[in-house]
Structure formats: C-alpha cells, structure tokens
C-alpha cells in the first residue's frame, strides 16, 4: 500500500479546515465501483505513477523513477488515461537548485512499457499542470505558466509533439466535453466553456468562486470545487451542475477537496482530500456516489494526489 505524508497545495491558497462533512451522504458504498484509477503518489521520497481498481484491489506501480541526487526535487503528476485505456499521459518535473523547473509531458503504456516524452518545457519555478486527453485521442490539453505574459494559459498538444495556445492568460484546469467540441476551464471570473474550433468562451453563471471543473462522460454534468469562505474558517465544497450552471447542488463540504475524475458510468466522482486540519499532510482518494449518496475511501490510496479514472 502506498502510505506517505505529502504536502498538497490547491488553487485556493490558505488551507481550510479539514473536517469532512457529507451533505446527505451515509457510510460506505454497498456495491463496489468498477474501472481502473491511475494516480500519483510518493513511495518514500520518490514520486511515481500507480494504478488500482476502483474497489481498492490490484494496486500496481507503473513508473519506477529513481531518486534524484544533489538536492534537486522531482514530481510526477496529472495522469490522464488515453480514451482506449492503453496508455497514460503524465507530467514529470525536476526542480533544480537554480530555480528552474524542467517539465515534460510523457506517455507510458498502462503496463509501464514504451515510455516516451511528447513535450518539454523549462520555466522559473513553475511546472506544467492539468493534463486532459481529448475524447478522440488526438490532443492533450494542459496548463502552462509562461513569462511573458506572466499568467497561466491553456495549450493543446498533438501526439507528434507540436503544441498551440488555446487561451491567452488567466486559465487553468481544462476538461473536455465528451463530444470533444468544447472545453471547460477555470478562469479569472469562474468556470468557462469554450468552443474548441472557434475558441469562443462563455462564463458559466454563478461560478465566480469555483475552480477545477470536471466534465462527466455522459455530458450532463460538470463537477467543481468551490471556496465558500475565507481564511481558516472557510471551507471548500465539491458541487455538481449542468454545463450552463443550472441544477447546482453540493455533494461534499469541509476540508481541502478537489474533484479529479468521474466514474466512466457518470454516476460517481473521484476526489482527493487533505485530512490534516491545516490542509497540509496526508491525503487520500474518495469516491462520492450520485445514486446512493455515499462517500467511500479508495483503499490503498493514502498519500495519493492527482488521478484519472478509466473503465
């Protein structure tokens, strides 16, 4: 079992109280969830990718990166399954003593073989973030902080390694609609939905304090994390809404919570939560069901961070 203490900082900045409050949800899940979850975690001080069945069985390590020497730091994160489930895209970053962050977007087969680098970027301090593989398998959206312009931008990467900007600043956390024609992302005014072909975007009403959108596979819902207060007395919640912002409801509140992926059947959401009461330290993956209103921890994922879920 992966079991580590890790420090995890989300978009919200100051940590919120970490007491989990479940809005209308009961105990453990009666029927095990299906599918396979890819996630990143540290085994000791070495970050790597792992896969596990959604019921917490068959934990397997995918990458086996060595420890970096000389005081440099390394991270692996933002795994994203290919649509056919055969490959996983992820970001590997080395933080050098000079202050530079060398980030690569790589693809590896689900069994750990055939690893290759698609894209490489160098910046001051900040790595690449937020991979999202398109439904047709041809492009990968990601977040890149570039200076200039000194802001987060969304980029689209093709499998031949070429990439183009999709937005010009103040945008992060891309998530594809299942038709591949639209992208949801977080911007300065809230959650935006953009036409991929025209790049025209509209803000979703009532999402001014929302971030980290995740579009459901059936296209009906977008899950978001939301700041509902300020400072130590504030908290974050996991909400769902339609792509227009209608029908919004809160599923989970309390602690530092971020939705990571939908179940392939669109009936549950995988999220990560920081347990420590100051928002730092041990994390774990949880699943909240939209059908029976229950929250279930995923066994074997203590210490996990970002993740992706495939059928």
Q: What is the tens place of the pLDDT at every residue in 129-178?
A: 999 999 999 999 999 988 767 789 999 999 999 999 999 878 999 999 99
- Number of domains the chain is built from: 1
Q: Could you tell me the two tokens for 176?
A: 């594809």
Residue numbers of the domain that contains 277: 21-310
The pair of three-digit structure tokens given for residue 168, joined into one six-digit string: 């010009």
- For residues 23 and 229, give the distance between their C-alpha atoms in angstroms, rounded to a whole number: 17
Q: Alpha-carbon torsion 188, 189, 191, 193, what sign?
A: negative
Q: Where is pLDDT greater, at 235 or 17?
A: 235
The per-residue pLDDT for 124 is: 66
Whether residue 11 lies inside any domain: the answer is: no
Using DSSP's 3-state secondary structure scheme, residue 299 falls into coil
In this prediction, residue 29 carries a pLDDT of: 44
The reply to whether 15 falls in a domain is no
Residue 110 located in a structural domain? yes
Q: How far apart are CA 172 and CA 188, in angstroms?
A: 10
Is residue 69 in a domain? yes
User: What mean pLDDT value characterizes the chain?
Assistant: 85
**Number of alpha carbons in the 13 Å side-chain half-sphere of residue 309:** 29
1 occurs within a structural domain: no
Give the other-Cβ count within 10 Å of 154's Cβ: 26
Over range 5-10, report the average pLDDT: 32
Checking if the pLDDT of 24 tops 50, the result is no
Q: Rounded to an integer, what distance in angstroms lies between the CA atom of residue 144 and that of residue 13?
A: 19
For the chain, what percent of residues have pLDDT higher than 70? 83
Q: How confident is the model at residue 234 (pLDDT cuts 50, 70, 90)?
A: low
Is the pLDDT confidence value at 15 over 70?
no
- Within a domain: residue 9? no
Q: 25 in a domain, yes or no? A: yes
What CATH number does the domain containing 49 carry?
2.120.10.30
What does the alpha-carbon distance between residue 161 and residue 259 come to, in Å, rounded to a whole number?
Answer: 28
Q: Look at the block and give the residue holding tokens 């549950």.
A: 268
H-run or E-run covering 152: strand 151-158
pLDDT at residue 194 greater than cutoff 80: yes
Q: Report if residue 31 sits inside a domain.
A: yes
| Nearest by Cα to 311 from 113, 86, 130, 61 | 86
For the residues 226-240, what does the mean pLDDT come to? 71
Q: What is the pTM of this model?
A: 0.88
């Amino acid at each position: 079992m992966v079991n580590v203490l890790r420090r995890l900082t989300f978009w919200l900045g100051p940590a919120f109280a970490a007491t989990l409050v479940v809005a209308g949800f009961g105990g453990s899940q009666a029927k095990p969830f299906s599918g396979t979850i890819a996630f990143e975690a540290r085994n000791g001080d070495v970050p790597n990718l792992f896969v596990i069945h959604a019921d917490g069985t068959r934990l397997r390590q995918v990458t086996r990166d060595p420890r970096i020497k000389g005081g440099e730091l390394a991270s692996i994160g933002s795994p994203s399954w290919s649509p056919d489930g055969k490959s996983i895209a992820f970001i590997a970053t080395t933080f050098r003593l000079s202050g530079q962050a060398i980030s690569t977007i790589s693809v590896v087969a689900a069994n750990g073989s055939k690893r290759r680098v698609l894209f490489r970027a160098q910046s001051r301090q900040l790595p690449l973030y937020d991979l999202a593989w398109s439904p047709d398998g041809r492009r990968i959206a990601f977040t890149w902080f570039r200076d200039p312009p000194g802001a987060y931008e969304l980029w689209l990467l093709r499998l031949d390694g070429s990439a183009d900007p999709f937005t010009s600043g103040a945008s992060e956390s891309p998530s594809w609609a299942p038709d591949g024609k639209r992208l949801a992302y977080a911007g300065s005014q809230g959650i935006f939905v953009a036409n991929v072909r025209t790049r025209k975007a509209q803000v979703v009403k009532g999402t001014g304090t929302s971030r980290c959108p995740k579009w459901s596979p059936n296209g009906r819902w977008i899950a978001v994390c939301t700041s509902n207060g300020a400072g130590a007395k504030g908290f974050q919640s996991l909400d769902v809404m339609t792509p227009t912002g209608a029908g919004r409801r809160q599923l989970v509140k309390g602690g530092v919570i971020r939705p990571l992926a939908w179940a392939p059947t669109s009936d549950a959401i995988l999220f990560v939560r920081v347990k420590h009461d100051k928002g730092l330290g041990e994390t774990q993956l949880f699943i909240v069901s939209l059908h029976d209103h229950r929250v279930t921890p995923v066994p074997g994922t203590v210490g996990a961070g970002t993740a992706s879920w495939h059928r």
